[in-house]
């Protein structure tokens, strides 16, 4: 449940957008512009199939300046769902992450190779 709590802390009370995310996104969050053309995809998590209610796809992007953006989408029973007049439907969100949040997301999703590639120099050996 640690992951659910982490995601809820990121989403807060902001509603998710209906439908799928755009591969060619350009969004402004907290006064900063995040554009797909100037960011690299550095990690991807997928769960389920598009016809599953709980499907999830999350892609972590990093800008040339080191800013992180989580582009997430999912089915009507996922954390990324969007509310509509009939209940819930597929939804998506663009969420800026601090480096600490990006590291936590990678840990919670079990993306150890990506975690090491991005933050390996700052990790301490056991």
pLDDT, one tens digit per residue, over 30-80 is 999 999 999 999 999 999 998 899 999 999 999 999 999 999 999 999 999
**18 in a structural domain:** yes
**125 in a structural domain:** no
Look up the domain containing 13 and give its range: 2-120
The number of residues making up the chain comes to 126
Burial 113-125 (b: 16+ CB within 10 A, else e): ebbeebeeeeeee
pTM of the model: 0.90
**84 in a structural domain:** yes
The whole-angstrom separation of Cα 80 and Cα 46 is: 13
Q: How many distinct structural domains can be found in the chain?
A: 1
Q: What is the largest CA-CA distance in the chain?
A: 51
**126 in a structural domain:** no
Quick: pLDDT tens for 78-101.
999 998 888 999 999 999 999 999
3-state helix, strand, coil in the chain (%, to 5): 25, 35, 35
**13 in a structural domain:** yes
């Amino acid at each position: 449940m640690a992951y659910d709590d982490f995601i809820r802390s990121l989403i807060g009370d902001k509603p998710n957008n209906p439908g799928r995310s755009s591969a060619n996104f350009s969004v402004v969050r907290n006064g900063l512009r995040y554009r797909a053309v100037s960011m690299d995809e550095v990690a991807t998590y997928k769960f389920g199939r598009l016809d599953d209610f709980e499907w999830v796809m999350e892609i972590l992007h990093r800008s040339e300046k080191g800013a992180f953006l989580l582009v997430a989408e999912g089915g009507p029973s996922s954390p990324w769902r969007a509310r509509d007049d009939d209940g819930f439907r597929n939804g998506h969100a663009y969420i800026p992450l601090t480096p600490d949040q990006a590291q936590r997301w990678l840990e919670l999703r079990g993306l150890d190779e990506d975690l090491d590639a991005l933050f390996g120099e700052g990790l301490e050996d056991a």
